[in-house]
Structure 1
Amino acid sequence: MGVVLNLIDAILLLFFLLIAVVAPLIDAQTCLPLSYFPDILVQLKENYTHDYGDYLVAEKPHFFVGLVWLELLFQWPVALLNLYAILTSKPWFSTTCLIYGVSTSTSMVAILSEMMNSNRASDKLLTMYVSFMGLGVLALLRGLLTCSSKSTSVLGRRPALARKKRA
């Protein structure tokens, strides 16, 4: 089980590093004025929008802008916490990973539902968003797993039950 957790943690480390960089530099352009960003980043986002045909990024529907705000104000800080937790082996990593996974998966359901029902998304675009959904589910599942095999409760370790004496 330890090898599987290490592999999952390595995948999530790369994912959280990606989010730590992309969210404030690229995704934030969806809801903040473009004048806040260097021209090279604005051009990078425009190239992505053109190459992938990401009509949500181009058209900025209200629900999508709201989900980007959710990402910037909630998911991005939790991703940073998860990076710190992975690198320093913090015991609360499972909790923050679960929080991040649930939030990301919920956002991706809304986005993928729009894309699949609109019939406007290319296979390339759907593949990218489904990958983010998969990574959100992976984070959620990692949050449900624990590194310890010891039985614990919310209050800590449970004492062993006393046996009754036979008469």
Structure 2
Amino acid sequence: MGFVLKLVDAILFLFFVLIAIVAPLLDAQTCLPLSYFPDFLVDVKAWYANEFGDYLVAEQPHFFVGLVWLELLFQWPLSIINIFAMLYSKPWFNTTCLIYGVSLSTSMVAVLSEMMGSKKASEKLLTMYFPFMCLGILATLRGLLTSSSKSSSAFGKRPATARNKRA
């Protein structure tokens, strides 16, 4: 079980780092003026929308813009907090991971329901979004698991620090 937990933590760590970088640089273009971003980032997002046929990114329906605001104001900070918690073996990692996973899964249910219900999404586009649903479920399950040791992290054991007792 220890190996599987370390593998899950490594996958989630990479995912949280990806979200910490991509959310403010690419996803934020959905709700903020494009003049705030360098031209090459605007071009990257336009290329993505064309290449994958992401009509939600191109058309920006209100519900999608709301979900991007949720990502920027809630999920993005949680991803940064989760990175910190994993690196420093914080005991509240399970809680923040659970919160993040449930929030991401809920968002993905709305997005994937729209895509499959409207029949506008190509297989290529669904292939882009389904892993996010899986990662949300993985983060939720990781949040429900308890570690066997309070001082362990995905990157090995951390020494316990002594605390001074106050009189």
Report the TM-score when normalising by structure 1.
Answer: 0.88
Query: Which residue does 1:98 correspond to in 2?
Result: 98
In 2, the alpha carbon distance for the partners of 1:3 and 1:96 equals 22
List structure 1 segments (4+ residues) > 4 angstroms apart after TM superposition. Answer: none
Query: Which residue does 1:84 correspond to in 2?
Result: 84
Secondary structure, aligned partner of 1:89 = coil
In 1, the alpha carbon distance for the partners of 2:63 and 2:142 equals 28
1:7-41: CA deviation from partner (whole Å, max 9, x where unpaired): 00000001001100000000000000000000000
Query: Which residue does 2:22 correspond to in 1?
Result: 22
Deviates more, 1:85-94 or 1:25-34: 85-94
Query: Which residue does 1:108 correspond to in 2?
Result: 108
1:50-109: CA deviation from partner (whole Å, max 9, x where unpaired): 000000000000000000000000000000000001111111110000000000000000
In the comparison of the two structures, how many residue pairs are matched?
150
In 1, the alpha carbon distance for the partners of 2:47 and 2:117 equals 25
The structure with the larger Rg is: 1
Query: Which residue does 2:141 correspond to in 1?
Result: 141
In 2, the alpha carbon distance for the partners of 1:96 and 1:87 equals 14
In 2, the alpha carbon distance for the partners of 1:5 and 1:145 equals 9
Deviation at 1:148, TM superposition (A): 2.5
Q: Percent identity?
A: 75
In 2, the alpha carbon distance for the partners of 1:149 and 1:78 equals 23
1:106-152: CA deviation from partner (whole Å, max 9, x where unpaired): 000000000000111011110111100000000000000011379xx
Q: Residues 148 and 121 of structure 1: is their aligned pair in 2 closer, same or farther, counting only changes over 3 Å?
A: same
In 2, the alpha carbon distance for the partners of 1:95 and 1:124 equals 33
Letter in 1 for 2:138: L
In 2, the alpha carbon distance for the partners of 1:7 and 1:14 equals 11
Letter in 2 for 1:140: T
RMSD of aligned residue pairs (Cα, Å)? 1.1
Alignment map for 1:28-67 (pairs within 5 Å): 28-67=28-67
In 2, the alpha carbon distance for the partners of 1:129 and 1:85 equals 26
Query: Which residue does 1:10 correspond to in 2?
Result: 10
Gaps of 5+ in 2: 151-167
In 1, the alpha carbon distance for the partners of 2:25 and 2:139 equals 23
Report the TM-score when normalising by structure 2.
Answer: 0.88
Gaps of 5+ in 1: 151-167
